[in-house]
A and B are shown apart, each in its own frame.
Chain A
Amino acid sequence: MNPAPLKYKFFTPGVFILILLALNGIVFLAIRFIYGLGAVTNLDNYTPWGLWIGVDVAAGVALAAGGFTSAALGHIMHREHYHSIVRPALLTAMLGYTFVAFAVLVDIGRFYYIWHPLIMWNGNSALFEVGICVMIYLTVLYIEFLPIVCERFKGRINLPGFLKFFNKSLDKLLTLLDKGLAKTMFIFIIAGVVLSTLHQSSLGTLMVIAGQKMHPLWQTPVLPLLFLLSAIAVGFPMIIFESLIAARSFKLKPEMNILSKLGGMVAPILFVYFAFKIGDLFISEDFKYLLKFDTNAFMYLGECALTITAFIMFLSRRVLKSPLLIFIASTLVIAGVLLNRINNFIVAYNPFFDPNNYFPSFGEFSVTIGCIALLVLAYRFIVLNFPVISHE
């Protein structure tokens, strides 16, 4: 079983729906770039960050964590057994981070200055660290993906017309690139893991500076640690989730032998994450806010319920063996982490004396959903044309 492009048609009814969603998002994107953020979003001077930062950026980075966790498992720990999941996870991470970078471009007001952090540094700023790490990591992901491109085109370059002349030299170049990359890839793989641990945690540091504007249930100095642990915890469930969706969508046999093993590692990681989360709640004595039974308490308990249910499910051998049950359990972990990021960036952010509670606008949802649709379409296109997914 080696990775190879899938032989399957690109267009299906589902794909048309995705295209429609993407077009809808693009319309609102155009409005945002012509008339400014206010024309599309419900953001104001009280609430400067909304859905696009909370979901597209923060949750996007977390849900792309499968890239570095699988790289650590497959390459650094040398578990060759897992190699078949490394490529799909890498592709998701690459597309995910591209999506994050694009979301940042959309959200920042002076988007034409997006390159400024490269030369204007502020080491005190958590956002600067996140920005730089994400930029470098995105580059690393593209480099990690290059061998797949080389593999696809090596010995198969067939340019039309007078360009034929270049076929041979291009092929040589690809072979050389492939060889060079094979020898140096370990540098990028380790860098990818280090960069990920750095910015996954710094993403948590972001909201620490909001101080009292952030609800005490979430505001804690250990936020970076909680963000890192939850990102690690969501990595494998995300791989299981998309592997099963891909299997269904392309009528492949689910690779349950690998997915069960991956699933077996989820419960201990979830346990550590949750232990820190609850430990922090009790050390800071913030559990008293849970007794208020308001939106904040409800949202916090929602997060806990999702995590605990997923934890219990992942402990069971039956769940690990069943494609349906392990899919549900993975979805619960993903929902839990997604909710956690939404809570941290949107729900917990309570500006003083804010007359209108922020709720994302239709335009904001449209852009987010449109971008996700584009991401899925890109994933589909790439697995149909590049050797990413292993199959018979």
Chain B
Amino acid sequence: MKNLDRRSFLKVAAAGISITTLGTSPAISAETKLDENRLGVLVDTAVCVGCRLCEWACRTAHNLPAGSLESYADDSVFKEFRRPDKTALTVVNEFENEKNPLLPVHVKTQCMHCEKPACVSACIVGALTKKQDGSVVWDGDKCIGCRYCMVACQFQIPTYDYDVSIDPKIRKCDFCESRRQEGLLPACVNICPNEALIFGKRCEVLKIAKERIKRKPEIYVNHIYGEHEIGGASWMYIASKDFDKLKMATLGDNPAPGISEAIQHGIFAYFVPPVTLYTLLGTFMWVLKKRKEIDPDADTEKNNEEKGDKI
């Protein structure tokens, strides 16, 4: 018994070690191969004036109650920190600007459309998918409402309708999928009066971001948020102050689903480990049964011995 225990533990330990080593080299699954021409948006927080027209346009485009355009001039909403929710897929928040107090920093928040999205990896039924054009979209016909995407998302973007029982939705920016199919720009990009949102191929948008930082180093901190964060994102930000002061989480460069997927694939590599375990246990059971048939007392004797040395 003692020996058996030890042996099975060694096996488990070996499995654990292989998991850990796998875990250190994030495996990126083949299906997430990205298109060269995938889209991107640069949010230049130094240019944004906080007019919140993007909020109105987004609501209108997604059939959410938007209210009158005039009501968006009311800047008292900036008093509290807001997050996207069931009433808005994007929100703008205001932060103090130490360099120039008259020009506060405005930060638009929406889904980042990650290059290696944790939500897509996590979703139990594959209701979230990463499209070739870079967008990450939700399929309500599949979603079971488990909210694991919300646990997985490092940007804490997906929201859930907690106030309904039937057909609650996971909501997040869909990169204006339907508008783009009609050849239109995403609603927020389209309405932005200051060109604070720059839409294009991700690689080109990234170039623009780098250029702006290079041209005005006195304004921008040298960091493009979203270029490398958890493997990169379609949406990227440049700003005049550190991003953690703009309530944007400080994240590493490793793709969020990397370790989790490595473990999953390690345990399930073509079903070899489970099948091996099954065979091992089966053989074991059979051998012990045979031994017992030959010598029915073997069990009790061994038990007594063990009791002696164990207790």
B150 touching A45, Cβ below 8 Å: yes
- Chain B contact surface mostly: helix
* Chain A 64-106 per-residue mask, 1 if CB under 8 angstroms from chain B, else 0: 0000000010011111110000000000000000000000000
| Docked complex: A33-55 residues within 8 A CB-CB of B | 33-39, 41, 43-46, 48-49
Q: A36-B168, A48-B151, A111-B145 are in contact. Are A190 and B282 (CB under 8 A)?
A: yes
Q: Across the interface, do A113 and B143 meet the contact criterion of CB distance under 8 Å?
A: yes
Which has the most chain B C-beta neighbours within 10 Å: A113, A201, A320?
A113
- B126 within 8 Å of A (CB atoms): yes
**A123 to B267, Cβ gap below 8 A?**
no
- Interface flag for B294 (CB, 8 Å): no
Instruction: Establish whether residues A261 and B303, one from each chain, have CB atoms under 8 Å apart when the complex forms.
Output: yes
B263 close to A224 (CB less than 8 A):
yes
Q: Which residues of the other chain, B, contact A109 by a CB distance below 8 angstroms?
A: 144-147, 160-161, 168
Tell me, rounded to whole Å, the shortest Cβ–Cβ distance linking A278 to chain B.
14
Please choose the segment from B8-16, B38-46, B48-56, B210-218 that sits at the chain A interface, where 4 or more of its residues have CB less than 8 A away. Answer: B8-16
Q: Does A343 contact B (CB under 8 A)?
A: no
- Chain A residue nearest to B282 (CB atoms) is A190
Given the known interface contacts A49-B151, A110-B168, A193-B281, the answer about A79 and B303 at a Cβ–Cβ threshold of 8 Å is: yes
Question: Nearest chain A CB to B268's CB is how many angstroms away?
Answer: 7
Shortest distance between the CB of B134 and any CB in chain A (Å): 19
Identify the stretch in A127-135, A146-154, A367-375 within 8 Å (CB) of chain B at 4 or more residues. A127-135
Interface size class of chain A, counting residues whose CB lies under 8 Å from the partner chain = 35 or more
Whether, in the assembled complex, B97 has its beta carbon less than 8 Å from a beta carbon of chain A, the answer is no
Contact residue among A46, A211, A264, A353 (Cβ-Cβ distance under 8 Å from B307)? A264
Are the C-beta atoms of B299 and A79 separated by less than 8 Å? yes
| In the complex, chain A residues whose CB is within 8 Å of the CB of B303 | 79, 81, 261
CB atoms of A129 and B264 under 8 A apart = yes
Tell me the B1-49 residues at the A interface (CB within 8 Å): 1-2, 4-5, 9, 12-13, 15-16, 19-20, 23-24, 29
B20 contact from A34, A116, A212, A221, Cβ within 8 A: A221
Given A190-B282, A205-B260, A222-B16: A128 and B168 interface contact (C-beta under 8 Å): no
Give the contact stretch, choosing among A168-176, A265-273, A326-334, A384-392. A265-273
Interface of A is mostly: helix
| B146 touching A76, Cβ below 8 Å | no
**Complex partner residue of B263 from A44, A80, A205, CB under 8 angstroms:** A205
A-contacting residues, B126-145, CB 8 Å: 126-127, 142-145
Asked if A246 is an interface residue, CB under 8 A from chain B, the answer is no
> Does B289 belong to the interface (CB within 8 Å)?
yes
Complex contacts, B107 vs chain A, CB 8 Å? none
* B contact residues around A222 at 8 Å (CB): 16, 19-20
B256's contact among A114, A209, A229, A351, by CB below 8 Å, is which?
A: A209
- Contact assessment for A81 and B300 in the assembled complex, using a CB-CB cutoff below 8 Å: yes
Smallest CB separation, B164 vs chain A (Å): 5
Query: Can you name the residue of chain A whose Cβ is closest to the Cβ of B21?
Result: A221
B residues 179-231 near A (Cβ < 8 Å) are 230
Q: Does A352 contact B (CB under 8 A)?
A: yes
Residue in chain A with minimal CB distance to B298: A78
For A189-226 the 0/1 string (1 means CB < 8 A from B) is: 11101100110011001111111110000000110110
**Distance of B30 from chain A, by nearest CB (Å):** 11
Check: A291 CB closer than 8 A to any chain B CB.
no
A228 within 8 A of B: yes
Contact A124 B261 (CB under 8 A): yes
Q: How far is the CA of A197 from the CA of B81 in the complex (A)?
A: 44
A76→B121 contact, CB < 8 A: no
Task: Check B284 against A76 for contact (C-beta < 8 Å).
Answer: yes
> How many Å from the CB of A238 to the closest CB on chain B?
18
Q: Is A247 an interface residue (CB 8 A)?
A: no
Cross-interface CB contact of B16 among A125, A265, A276, cutoff 8 Å: A276
Please give me the residue from chain A that is nearest to B285 by CB atom.
Answer: A76
The docked-state distance in angstroms from the alpha carbon of A45 to that of B157 is 8
Say whether B236 faces chain A, with CB atoms less than 8 Å apart. Answer: no
Cα–Cα distance between A126 and B268 once the two chains are bound (Å) = 11
Q: How far is the CA of A303 from the CA of B161 in the complex (A)?
A: 35
B9 touches A272 (CB 8 A): yes
Q: Determine the distance from Cα of A43 to Cα of B168 in the docked complex, in whole angstroms.
A: 14
- Contact assessment for B165 and A45 in the assembled complex, using a CB-CB cutoff below 8 Å: no
Q: A78 to B285, Cβ gap below 8 A? A: yes
Taking A36-B164, A124-B121, A124-B264 as known contacts, 5 extra A-B pairs with beta carbons closer than 8 A to each other, sorted by chain A number, are A45-B85, A78-B292, A129-B268, A191-B278, A206-B151
B residues engaging A (CB < 8 A)?
1-2, 4-5, 9, 12-13, 15-16, 19-20, 23-24, 29, 81, 83, 85, 118, 120-127, 142-148, 150-152, 154, 156, 158-165, 167-168, 230, 247, 249, 251-252, 256-257, 259-261, 263-265, 267-268, 274, 277-278, 281-282, 284-285, 288-289, 292, 299-300, 303, 307, 310-311
| A-B CB contact pairs (8 Å), 13 listed | A45-B150, A48-B160, A49-B147, A117-B125, A122-B123, A124-B261, A129-B264, A208-B263, A222-B16, A222-B20, A224-B267, A317-B311, A320-B311
- Shortest beta-carbon contacts, A-B, top 10: A109-B145, A38-B162, A221-B23, A110-B145, A48-B147, A225-B16, A48-B150, A120-B125, A209-B260, A122-B126
